[in-house]
Amino acid sequence: MQNSIRFILQALGEDPDRQGLKDTPKRVEKSLRFLTSGYGVDPDALIGKALFDESYDEMVLVKDIEFYSLCEHHMLPFFGKCHIAYIPNGKIVGLSKLPRLVEAFARRLQVQERLTTQLAEIIINRVQPKGVGVVMEARHLCMCMRGVQKENSYAVTSAMLGSFKTDQRTRMEFLNLIALKKPL
């Protein structure tokens, strides 16, 4: 990888041996390996045994989960907040597992639409709730720094499964709860 990065630097007209760039191939490789470390995470194993029998049957929401990812089209960052809710069906999942799932899927080359769907699908399949809702809000540097260069725009995607898709009241409760200002 480092040789490829040196080649890219040369193709850009840079001298990869100059002082400021001498260690850049090594740093870029380390950075890319970290930013794509989600490929090495098994989301099923991540949930593992963190499923607990519980009769709680109201909405569980974890909101404002920060995430960072790389757009697969330009390999530029996109980042923002993710909101995940589900309605238990006899089982709950450890709350920390939801941000961990976001991290696992975000640390891959991604598009926001797929990332949103992957999160909803892993939760519906592993936790088996009555329904799940995922909303992601993100700023994409490929839109801010290049292309249309719109610095203040951001994308919002959603995935609604089960009762979040079929029951308008459940869907609206979720959307209203994520719209509330942070109480802490």
d(CA 161, CA 172): 14
Do you know the residue count of the chain? 184
- One of 54, 66, 72, 151 is an active-site residue; which one? 72
Q: Which of 14, 29, 121, 142 is catalytic?
A: 142
3-state helix, strand, coil in the chain (%, to 5): 40, 25, 30
Catalytic annotation, pick one of 103, 140, 144, 173: 140
CA–CA distances in Å: residue 2 to residues 7, 19, 21, 27: 9, 16, 12, 9
Could you identify the residue written with the tokens 């090495």?
40
- Point out the catalytic residue in the list 74, 121, 128, 137: 74
Handedness of CA 85, 117, 147, 24 (dihedral sign): positive
Verify whether residue 72 is a known catalytic residue: yes
**Which is the catalytic residue, given 112, 118, 144, 173?**
112
Whole-angstrom distance, CA of residue 27 vs CA of residue 18: 15
Catalytic residue among 10, 73, 113, 151: 73
Active site includes 83? Answer: no
Nearest Cα to Cα of residue 118 among 61, 46, 23: 46
82 noted as active-site residue: no
Active-site positions read: 71-74, 112, 140, 142
